[in-house]
Structure 1
Amino acid sequence: MEIGIDSFAAASAKAGGTAADSMQAIDELIERIVFADKAGLDVFGIGEHHRREFLDAAPTVLLAAAAAKTNRIRLTSAVTVLSAADPVRVFQNFATLDLISKGRIEMVVGRGSFTEAFPLFGLKLEDYDELFTEKLDLLLKIRANETVNWSGRFRPALHNQAIYPRPLQNPLPVWIGVGGTPASFVRAGTLGLPLMVAIIGGETHRFRPLVDLYRAAGKKAGHSPEQLTVGLHSLGYVANTTEEAVDDYYPGYAETFTRIGKERGWPPVTRSHFNAQTGMFGALLVGGPEEVAEKIKRHSEALGGISRLTFQMDNAGLSHKKLVQSIGLIGSKVMPFVNG
């Protein structure tokens, strides 16, 4: 199983953080990616948001900086909000990244879990699914063909248009990022694309019927089981002991998800809720190395086997030092436990 990190490039936790604080946060993020490369992790992903608390509005720029300073780790988006982007520019950016990285770039494309990108780029939220369907179709056509003929509703048509540069990898890896919408799982399976499932709460095993839908749709469309790979994006944090991990992670987690909950109508986070999420069946991967490794194995079994697991851990206000320590433990202890 490949194991790595996804980051949303959290901004400084300081009230009224300055541009200098943002500069430091980005510098530390690149340091963590370089450290993850040296620590033996398989993949590092950068999200895309257009909110004050995140610095990942231009993820390909961050990935380019990381690509120039790393040697072996695969670099990916997590996710590219394709509904709000031009697929031509998305492909060109990632093809260029693939050349910079010498063939280590992937992209996970999705519709996004926040909605700020739609008004920002002059799009209608009611076109949420239609935008993604059409733009994914164009992106895959560009990936497969140097010269493209295409027409759609949301973008000017392309007539015998050659699109450059071409990536080193052929094809450039494209994953579909999904939450809990059945149609999204079916679409990924029908297209034969690898699936990245974001499970940030609840009980992981409850997603098994959706993963089965994905595999059934892929089989029906004629894709081999080996092509229908499943990855899991989970909130998590590893410390030397479970007690240390919980003490470090809980305060920032509770603050972040209580704040987001006010926007979405969720109840405030309580310690009992958190304890349920870090328990045997809950989605959070927070604990000591051996406990987290065992939980990753249970998650994989519950979903019928996963090929990739990414931790999202910079959403709890943890210091750069704590995050680096956690990455080191994942590389030195969690990965050997999982794959040994």
Structure 2
Amino acid sequence: MELGIGMFGDLTFDRQTNQFQSPKLKLQEIVEQVKLADELGIDVFSIGEHHRADYAVSSPETILAALSTVTKNIKLGSGVSVLSSTDPVKLYQDFATVDLLSNNRAEIIAGRGSFIESYPLFGYDLKDYNALFEEKLDLLLHLNKNEVINWEGKYRAPIVNQTIYPRPERKIPVWIAVGGTPESVMRAARLGLPIIFAIIGGMPRQFKPLIDFYKEQYIAHGHDPAQMQVAVHSHTFVTDSHEDLIRHYYPYYAAQMDRIGKDRGWQPYTKMQFEGGMSPEGALFMGDSHQVAEKMIKTIELFGLTRFIAHIDIGGPTHLEMMKAIELYGTQVVPEVRKAIQQ
């Protein structure tokens, strides 16, 4: 069982100046935060890819390369790499480099992304959303499996007798990230790839049929159940108390939900929604250390997980608040969860 943290690089918004912090400062803060996570024995770090004004990270592999030189044990992955609008060859080269720098700690978590800004930015048509992912995943897996590549698809020129350099020392782990569509779950199961479910709303229990479906299809397609890996990625924040969370963290979270919701036609985010998400059946893993650990334990046991990623920077809390949350997660939540899982 692996317990990790994830980030998108949300920029802290100063309500007095009405401006976001500088990306330069945020990137420096992320390095310090992940160094702390590594020192505390947290298993995994993942960083997402976005192309928006409210996020600092558009190139996960670049920040992971920087982190590879200042950490020792923590696994370093994207979360996600938007594969549909990325060149798989360049992505594979970049992660091969990170894997070598990090002494074989890199992972690619591939997804289609929940935002669409990267499609026009890199010259892709959104109507090809599904087909692009299917084809590019096929190429990525070919690159990871074979040294000499012969491959042909629809959306790029064929590759004939080419080798990708630098060569990693192993096959780089490739995960599939899904939101909740059966087709995506089926694809991961058919290919025998580890899967991570983004559960960021509603009730986690609603995902059990999909997770069971993945496990059934994984085995039905001839893959070794001993190699099966299933993870969940959910919004998480750890504070000293419930009252502290509401007073200090809730405004960050609500503001980010409203920024995203403005583009998607959502109603303004309310404290009632926040409190509902923190209820025992909700999808927010937030509160004091015991509250968060207790919900994580129940979720891990319900789904039979092998990994949980706590997404901890939604809304861009300050650096000091992030460091405190990581410290509480690493020193209190993680030990409590590990003890319960091992019993």
TM-score of the alignment, normalized to the shorter chain, above 0.5: yes
Match of 1:312? 311
SS where residue 232 of structure 2 aligns? strand
Q: What does 1:23-172 align with in structure 2 at a 5 Å threshold?
A: 23-168=24-169, 170-172=170-172
Match of 2:280? 280
Match of 1:186? 186
Q: Distance in 2 between matches of 1:10 and 1:271?
A: 21
Q: Distance in 1 between matches of 2:10 and 2:297?
A: 28
Q: Distance in 1 between matches of 2:2 and 2:172?
A: 18
Match of 1:330? 329
| Counterpart contact for 2:143–2:164, Cα < 8 Å | yes
Q: Distance in 1 between matches of 2:59 and 2:182?
A: 29
Deviation at 1:226, TM superposition (A): 2.2
Q: Distance in 1 between matches of 2:60 and 2:177?
A: 16
Q: Distance in 2 between matches of 1:125 and 1:302?
A: 36
SS where residue 69 of structure 1 aligns? coil
SS where residue 237 of structure 1 aligns? strand
SS where residue 69 of structure 2 aligns? helix
| Counterpart contact for 1:204–1:302, Cα < 8 Å | no
Q: Which moved more, 1:129-138 or 1:291-300?
A: 291-300
Q: What does 1:258-277 align with in structure 2 at a 5 Å threshold?
A: 258-277=258-277
Match of 1:292? 292
Q: Distance in 1 between matches of 2:133 and 2:275?
A: 36
Q: Distance in 1 between matches of 2:202 and 2:168?
A: 38
Q: TM-score, normalised by structure 2?
A: 0.95
Question: CA offsets, 1:159-201, max 9 Å, x none?
Answer: 1111111212x22100001101110001001111100111111
Q: Distance in 1 between matches of 2:167 and 2:219?
A: 30
Deviation at 1:338, TM superposition (A): 0.5
Unaligned residue ranges in structure 1 (runs of 5+): none
SS where residue 52 of structure 1 aligns? coil
Q: Which moved more, 1:269-278 or 1:80-89?
A: 269-278
| Counterpart contact for 1:196–1:233, Cα < 8 Å | yes
SS where residue 172 of structure 2 aligns? coil
Q: Distance in 2 between matches of 1:285 and 1:247?
A: 17
Match of 2:224? 224
Match of 2:197? 197
SS where residue 123 of structure 1 aligns? coil
Q: Distance in 2 between matches of 1:162 and 1:317?
A: 41
Q: Distance in 1 between matches of 2:250 and 2:302?
A: 25
Deviation at 1:262, TM superposition (A): 1.9
2:274 aligned partner, one-letter code = F
Q: Distance in 2 between matches of 1:339 and 1:200?
A: 23
2:206 equivalent to 1:206: yes
Q: TM-score, normalised by structure 1?
A: 0.96
Question: CA offsets, 1:1-48, max 9 Å, x none?
Answer: 211111111224133447xx2211111111001111111111111100
Unaligned residue ranges in structure 2 (runs of 5+): none
Q: Distance in 2 between matches of 1:90 and 1:244?
A: 41
| Counterpart contact for 1:2–1:307, Cα < 8 Å | yes
Q: Distance in 1 between matches of 2:25 and 2:332?
A: 29
Q: Which moved more, 1:128-137 or 1:269-278?
A: 269-278
2:49 aligned partner, one-letter code = E
Q: What's the C-alpha RMSD, in Å, of the aligned pairs?
A: 1.2
Deviation at 1:86, TM superposition (A): 0.8
Q: Distance in 2 between matches of 1:183 and 1:286?
A: 30
SS where residue 56 of structure 1 aligns? coil
Match of 2:8? 8
SS where residue 159 of structure 1 aligns? strand
Q: Distance in 2 between matches of 1:244 and 1:12?
A: 18
Deviation at 1:249, TM superposition (A): 1.9
Q: Distance in 1 between matches of 2:300 and 2:183?
A: 22
Deviation at 1:121, TM superposition (A): 0.6
Deviation at 1:265, TM superposition (A): 2.1
2:180 equivalent to 1:177: no
Q: Distance in 2 between matches of 1:26 and 1:177?
A: 24
Question: CA offsets, 1:81-118, max 9 Å, x none?
Answer: 00001111111000010000011111100001100000
Match of 2:237? 237
Q: Distance in 2 between matches of 1:285 and 1:12?
A: 21
| Counterpart contact for 1:246–1:286, Cα < 8 Å | no
2:337 aligned partner, one-letter code = V
Question: CA offsets, 1:185-235, max 9 Å, x none?
Answer: 010011111001111111001011111121121111101222221111110
Deviation at 1:253, TM superposition (A): 1.0
| Counterpart contact for 2:10–2:315, Cα < 8 Å | no
| Counterpart contact for 2:20–2:54, Cα < 8 Å | no
Identity %: 44
